[in-house]
Amino acid sequence: MPSATIVGLQWGDEGKGKVLDALAKQVRCVVRYQGGGNAGHTVIVGEEKFVFHHVPTGILYPGVKCVIGNGTVIDVEVLTGELSAARERGVDLSGLVISNRAHVVLPYHRALDDAREQARSKDNKIGTTKRGIGPCYADKASRTGIRVADLYEPDTFAKRLRRNLDEKNAILHHLFGQAPLSYDEIYTRTLAAAESIRPYVGDGGQVARTALDAGAPVLFEGAQGVMLDLDHGTYPYVTSSSASSAGVASGAGVPPAAVGTVLGICKAYTTRVGSGPFPTELLDEQGERLRQLGHEFGATTGRPRRCGWLDLVQLRYACALTGAKRICLTKLDTLGGFGPLKVCVGYERGGQRVNTLPADGAGWDTLTPVYEELPGFDGDELLGATSPEQLPAAALDYVRFIEEQLGVKVSYISTGPQRSALVHMDEGVL
């Protein structure tokens, strides 16, 4: 039952899309197991750039089954547009399966997401993408959600939509002073979008389990990153689902043993979008230089990302939590020509060395990073490299330092945005 799970080891935006694309050609099934349209997995093929929000990255390989799992939340109108754009670009969608158990993001979820974020004070903003993800997961947990399967039972959908909209409109009006949303408009638009995706709807969990039982390689695709995990991230500045490998079994509908080898993806430095703790953040010209050199702007929102030095304390926690024994280091090319590089190897609090992450937000504010400085390296020969022999000696030293500190093998190194710019350091995960 060969399988592998891809997880982000930082605060998302680690470059999972490219790595998923590189591995997807070796498997028969790719399953997206959590998150929603807040994800933005980017793949560059030749001169073409593809950004997927709901659809698994493996869709670019004909013959690969691509499952949007039950653990995701789906905005059917947005998904309809995503599929239409893919068709226009010649993408074969015949292998796509949309889980009938996935929950549906509706306009009132987006409205609540936006209203709540706007109502928060500047210091308390979460940094949500305002795509309705959190409110949809909240409805799922409160057992008032609407699932994809409900859209094909018009009476059931009508009843549940009416009940939910009455409640949401009351909140939007009385708490946030907003005009009520139209039941008729939401009902009509949602059913129209549901019809357009009907050919792809099925039992996603059964598809994944069938592939596993047949011994076919399966790749489980995570969104966001471990530090945004609802249980284990920098709460409350997190997403609303399990972004670690722990989310695979429930989110994909497979046994826990199916998780397989966990490949963690991390940048050669650190970024995050939105509010929340970030010990190694650079608020000077170096941070801005990292942002510009790395093109650090969100694929989903376009927001500029916060940038800082690599944090090995945070990564050690992420590897332990996910069970990642191998990692792919991305954006190493961005550091080419940057000069001396700092890496956080610990924290200090009140003069004492700290090597663990705090559970409370206030605890993060008391931490001061402890850095080691490593030599920089030239970026000219690094960009687009495809073998270890092409990497500068100082770049390899940087990679080895990370391996020694984490006790985890760097199996892949990304050296540019193109699909081919990937160095295989060993036999890989599949």
pLDDT digits (tens, 9 = 90+) for 72-119: 999 999 999 999 999 999 999 999 999 999 999 999 999 999 998 888
1 pLDDT more than 70? no
pLDDT at 42: 79
Dihedral sign computed on CA atoms, order 153, 156, 160, 163: positive
Q: What is the CATH number of domain 104-196?
A: 1.10.300.10
pLDDT at 233: 95
CATH superfamily of 3-99+201-261: Adenylosuccinate Synthetase, subunit A, domain 1 (3.40.440.10)
Q: Where are the beta strands (DSSP E) in 268-323?
A: 270-272, 306-308, 310-311
pLDDT at 122: 67
Q: How far apart are CA 2 and CA 220, in angstroms?
A: 11
Q: What is the pLDDT of residues 328-345, one digit of tens each?
A: 999 999 999 888 999 999
Q: What is the DSSP letter of 255?
A: -
Beta-ladder partners of 344: 311, 371
pLDDT at 158: 97
218 pLDDT more than 80? yes
Active-site entry in 41, 54, 103, 109:
41
Mean pLDDT, rounded, of the chain: 92
Closest CA to 225 of 313, 317, 87: 317
Stretch 212-240: mean pLDDT, rounded?
94
361 pLDDT more than 90? no
Q: How far apart are CA 250 and CA 248, in angstroms?
A: 6
Q: Are 128 and 117 in contact (CB under 8 A)?
A: yes
pLDDT at 243: 95
Element (H, E) at 263: strand 261-267
224 pLDDT more than 80? yes
Higher-confidence position of 233 and 49: 233
- 295 carries an active-site annotation: no
- 365 carries an active-site annotation: no
Stretch 146-175: mean pLDDT, rounded?
96
40 — pLDDT class (breaks 50, 70, 90): confident
State CA 203 to chain mean position distance.
23
**Which residues neighbour 405 within 8 Å (Cβ) at sequence distance 6 or greater?**
312, 316, 343, 345
Stretch 274-279: mean pLDDT, rounded?
92
320 pLDDT more than 80? yes
pLDDT at 57: 87
256 pLDDT more than 90? yes
Judge residue 61's burial from the number of C-beta atoms within 10 Å of its C-beta, 0-12 exposed, 13-18 middle, 19 or more buried: middle
Q: How far apart are CA 261 and CA 429, in angstroms?
A: 7
Residue 56 C-beta-side C-alpha neighbours within 13 Å = 40
DSSP 131-199: SSHHHHHHHHHTT---BGGGGGSHHHHHHHHHHHHHHHHHHHHHTT-PPPPPHHHHHHHHHHHHHHHGG
Please identify, in words, the CATH class of the domain defined by 266-424.
Answer: alpha beta
Helix (H, G, I), strand (E, B) or coil at 97: strand
Task: Determine which of 183-197, 290-304, 327-341 has the lowest per-residue pLDDT on average.
Answer: 290-304
270 pLDDT more than 60? yes
Q: What is the pLDDT of residues 381-429, one digit of tens each?
A: 788 899 999 999 999 999 999 999 999 999 999 998 888 899 999 887 7
Across the chain, how many H-helices and E-strands are there? 12, 20
Q: Are 377 and 385 in contact (CB under 8 A)?
A: no
| Residue positions counted in the chain | 430
195 — pLDDT class (breaks 50, 70, 90): very high
Closest CA to 125 of 136, 135, 114: 114
Share of the chain above pLDDT 90, in %: 75
Exposed e or buried b per residue across 187-216, where buried means at least 16 C-beta atoms within 10 angstroms of its C-beta: bebbbebbeebeebbebbbebbbebbeeeb
* Domain definitions of the chain by residue range: 3-99+201-261, 104-196, 266-424
Q: Phi/psi of residue 414, each to 5°? A: -90, 130
Q: Is the peptide bond before 236 cis (omega within 30 degrees of 0)?
A: yes
190 — pLDDT class (breaks 50, 70, 90): very high
**Which residues neighbour 374 within 8 Å (Cβ) at sequence distance 6 or greater?**
340, 341, 342, 343, 394, 397, 398, 401
Q: How does strand 422-424 pair with strand 409-414?
A: antiparallel
Stretch 228-239: mean pLDDT, rounded?
94
Stretch 53-63: mean pLDDT, rounded?
90
